[in-house]
Structure 1
Amino acid sequence: MSTSAAQASAFFEEIGADGSIWTIEDDGGVPAPVGTDGRRAMPFWSLRSRLERVTASVPAYRGFQTREIPRVEFETRWLPGIRRDGLLAGLNWAGAEATGFDLTADEVLMRLKANPGER
């Protein structure tokens, strides 16, 4: 399993235990950079500590605030919005360039439904 695949897998396992999703935002909202495939993805992390490691090591993300999203809100509001806007969800991005797996909103929702965890 690649590092990115392991990070994505951990995203779903850790959400089950915690019930929250984390992202970053500034006055312009949540960033959605263009990935290597030319599509935009919004970043989400399963743990605040994962997000903080990235914001500490990626200069472009240092000016952002952290935002906690309850799982039910992520499933009912965020994922439909990501789908509508044609974006992907970046899961547990890591490293100096904040990279990892990007999935469609439907793929994320399907995996969340398979791992209901706590709400």
Structure 2
Amino acid sequence: MIPLTTDLNANYQRFIEHIQESGQVWGLQSASGWVVVDSAEFEDSEVMPFWSEEGHAKAHCVDEWAEFSPVAIDIEDFVSDWLPGMDEDGTLVGPNWNADLEGLEIEPVEIARQLGANAE
């Protein structure tokens, strides 16, 4: 597993490329639900972080997220169910946030567009 860096755009590109190769994306879930945080960029918005590798997701299961565990989501479900639902809710995607929880906050439709463009 290659560590995520402070180059947030590179982490995003890695996210897109790796989930297409692996066919899955990783989120953090507990008995109380999925990790969703307030946006650092947009007022009154929330972000749901996802990672391209289980190890990157698991690294965040400490401190206030210690009760969470990495859960794989099939890429087809992610594109057909999760992204449209997040778009309806106004929730942004946080792809491959690094160890400092730094990362881009992307509109779900942009992720769907990127995945569609890369699939062709």
Tell me if TM exceeds 0.5: yes
Question: What is the CA–CA distance in structure 1 between the aligned matches of 2:8 and 2:113, rounded to whole Å?
Answer: 19
Question: What is the CA–CA distance in structure 2 between the aligned matches of 1:65 and 1:107, rounded to whole Å?
Answer: 26
1:1-20 equivalent positions in 2, closer than 5 A: 3-20=7-24
Question: What is the CA–CA distance in structure 1 between the aligned matches of 2:60 and 2:9, rounded to whole Å?
Answer: 17
Contact 2:28-2:35 at 8 Å conserved across structures: yes
Query: Given the alignment, which residue of 101, 106, 118 partners 1:103?
Result: 106
Compute the TM-score of the two structures, normalised by the length of structure 1. Answer: 0.87
Contact 1:54-1:93 at 8 Å conserved across structures: no
Structure 1, residues 53-101: CA drift from partner, whole Å, max 9, x if none? 222xx422221022110000000110011001110000001123x2211
Question: What is the CA–CA distance in structure 1 between the aligned matches of 2:87 and 2:21, rounded to whole Å?
Answer: 25
Query: Which 4+ runs in 1 deviate beyond 2 A?
Result: none
Contact 1:92-1:100 at 8 Å conserved across structures: yes
Q: Does 1:47 align with 2:53?
A: yes
Across the aligned residues of Structure 1 and Structure 2, the Cα RMSD in angstroms comes to 1.5
Unaligned regions of 5+ residues in structure 1, if any?
none
Aligned residue-pair number:
113
Identical positions, percent: 27
- What letter matches 1:42 in structure 2? M
Shift of 1:102: 1.1
Compute the TM-score of the two structures, normalised by the length of structure 2. Answer: 0.86
